[in-house]
Structure 1
Amino acid sequence: MKKIKKIFFGIVSVVIILVVLVFSLRMYNDYKYKDTNALNFPEYYKDVTNISLYPTDIDGVDVTYVDEGRMQGFRFLPKEKSHKGLVVCFGGSEGSPNFENAKILAKEGYETFALFMFGMKNQAQTLTKIPLEQFEDVINYINKNIKDNKPISVLGASKGAEYALNLAYKYPEIDNLILISPSSYNFAGLDFNDYGSSWTYKEEQLPYIDIKQSSFSSFLKNIIVPTIIKSPISYKETYESAIEQDSSSQEKLIPIKNVKANILLIAGEDDLMWDSLAMAKKIKDQNPHAKIYSYKGAGHIFAGNGVLNLGRIRIATGGTIEGNDKAKSESRKTIDAFLKENHK
């Protein structure tokens, strides 16, 4: 009986110590990251699918909403269009249409579109099994409504870059690609209730890296423990581990060897969401004409101090304030030069 009591009190003591430790670490991390992240996100980031939150009164640019089948998003027409063709922008897993980049380019004289990949009318409602064919509605709209419609450049960030790379493989109408924090693989979608590939084509799911198959130790270290103690979650090792565990990972690479589009790849060398620089190099391995620009001290989103505070959780995006600010400025110049060269 004494032995049982001793074991019982030992277990209780360990539980109490663990609870105190977790509570202390949560308090410490709340204090450590209390000023993270003072990013000035636009108002629409509160609800990216609420089109009434997007500012359409922009000096020198006419902004209209396009509701054309599966083509959903904003058209920016400069009052003085100074570059040939147009630029189509897509955002990332947050579901935004990359409105800010489209607005910046429109003010520089490009006709641009900021388009949703999912979440809107006639589209997949979550980031899973998104049909690549919805881009055909974009091509049809461009052909019907824009006389000066060549060249076509597509700019995508993060999951939007993964999407854009697939589009260039399927649709030769795309002349130029700008891929920010890119992926060279097709990964699983981010709806765990309707799990599967991020993308489909002709109603078939594209082969994908299953992120559920990442190593448990990586998942525990980088996601479970940080969630419990409120330290920043890093997804980079989870993605890397899922690739390593997949014996057929080569079949999940986006096949762009024969893509004729000019490709610009932008990556932060300290990306903690996924290893965008390594994947940019894999894209270049397939398509040697692709150009890579990488930035030291920069993370996934080229903003803030490398930690994104979402309230209940914190996400490690990578980089420092100085490195991200510098990368944002320098990459902007790189993108401008690429577009000017290809939209003469």
Structure 2
Amino acid sequence: MNHCKALFLVFFCIFSFNSFSQNLSTPGVNSQLYVGESDKQALIVGLGGSEGGNPWTSNYWKSTRDEFISQGYAFLALGYFGAKGAPDSLDRISLEKVYGAIMEATKNPKIDNRKIALIGGSKGGELALLLASHFKAIKCVVAIVPSHVAFPGLTSHLSTSSWTYQGLEVPYVPVSEETIPALIKRDLRLAFDTMLKDTVAVEKALIQVENINGPVLLMSATKDEMWGSTPMSEAIVNRLKGKKFRHYYEHIAIEGGHTEPLKHFEEIFDFLKKHFEKK
């Protein structure tokens, strides 16, 4: 029995030595980097949604995070609000600071800074698309139940953008008076659908996804109770088609509610293997 325990401890020490994590010093963003033993690891960046914090560091996502490491990727978990060192609320988050955290991670000598992919869910999907549309170093996006426009920050008055770029608020679709009854009833899907009736604001807030410098995977929920991720993903596809986007893109609509696509990471691993690793 003692011999078995000794073997286990040796194995554990070897595994720990060959893969490690570190907190990065990144102003305004909580950053945890997980790196495997191989050289020239592509970097996967995980962005959570409106729950805040840094969810990709949690035990809940450990098995998925470990799967990325086992497949030869490095993994960067980012908390852009509601986490230590980050703003308290989702309000005018600087795209440059989030991008700066990603660039800080690429200084690790085991990471290939030519291969950066973002994976974001819900508001994190919105953020992933925005970041990739502004920064060419990002070479791949997986946006899970995303929006096709920027929406307000999560403040008490919902009167500011979620994001800033070059010191200015990213244009967003505002909350209208018509939206208020849905918000009082806490019917978020109806509230977002109502906001999207403002076609002038929508046009200004559209994410310029055609500027993304690599393949794009969209995963939506057909019965999304939070916001219309399937029609919004279809709008992204239509924009990519209309702008003659030169990279591969795909939209997978999954039957179920807002969180259902998070149960289908096999689709993401397959997409990355086919369209990101080979770039």
TM-score (norm 2): 0.81
1:301 has 2:256 as partner: no
Q: 1:243 to 1:85 in 2, by over 3 A?
A: same
Runs of at least 5 residues in structure 2 that lack an aligned partner in the other structure = 1-14, 242-247
Kindly, what percent of the aligned residue pairs are identical?
26
Q: 1:135 aligns with which of 72, 75, 98?
A: 98
CA deviations over 1:267-290 (Å, ceiling 9, x no partner)? 110001000011111111122342
Gaps of 5+ in 1: 1-57, 226-232, 303-326
Cα deviations across residues 107-159 of structure 1 (Å, max 9, x unaligned)? 44321011111234553321010011103422431342234323100100100
1:215 aligned counterpart, secondary structure: helix
Question: Which residue does the alignment assign to 1:281?
Answer: 234
Instruction: Summarize deviations over 1:40-93 as a string: whole Å, max 9, x none.
Output: xxxxxxxxxxxxxxxxxx9774222222323422111124x4884110110001
Match for residue 5 of structure 2?
none
Q: Which of 181, 201, 225 is matched with 2:145 structurally?
A: 181
User: What does the per-residue CA deviation read over 1:160-201, in whole Å, with 9 as the maximum and x for residues that have no partner?
Assistant: 111111101110000000000011000000112573000011
- 1:250 deviates by 1.0
Per the alignment, residue 250 of structure 1 pairs with: 203
Please tell me whether residue 192 in structure 1 is matched to residue 156 in structure 2: yes
User: Which residue number corresponds to residue 112 of structure 1?
Assistant: 75
Looking at structure 1, the residues matched to 54 and 31 of structure 2 have their Cα atoms a distance apart, in angstroms, of 7
Aligned partner of 1:290 in structure 2 is: 249
2:215 to 262, 272, 288: 262
Kept in 2: contact 1:84–1:343 (CA 8 A): no
Give 3-state SS (helix, strand or coil) of 1:186's partner: coil
For 1:84 and 1:133, locate their aligned partners in 2 and report how far apart those are by CA, in whole Å: 23
Distance 2:87 2:158 in 1: 11
Query: Conserved in 1, the CA contact under 8 Å of 2:42 and 2:116?
Result: yes
TM-score norm. by structure 1 comes to 0.66
The ranges of structure 1 where at least 4 consecutive aligned residues each deviate by more than 4 angstroms after the TM superposition are none
Question: Aligned pair count?
Answer: 249
SS in 2 for 1:287: helix
Is 2:136 the partner of 1:172? yes
Q: Kindly indicate whether residue 267 of structure 2 is the aligned counterpart of residue 334 of structure 1.
A: yes
Q: For the residues of structure 2 that align with 1:132 and 1:146, how far apart are their CA atoms?
A: 25
- In structure 2, the partner of 1:224 is 184
CA contact (8 A) 1:257 1:287 kept: yes
Tell me the amino acid that sits aligned with residue 219 of structure 2.
Answer: I
Indicate the RMSD between aligned Cα atoms, in angstroms. Answer: 2.4
CA distance in 2, matches of 1:214, 1:244: 12
For residues 71 and 92 of structure 1, what CA distance do their matches in structure 2 show? Answer: 14
Residue aligning to 1:54 = none
Q: Is the 8 A contact 1:257 1:286 kept in 2?
A: yes
2:230 counterpart SS class? helix
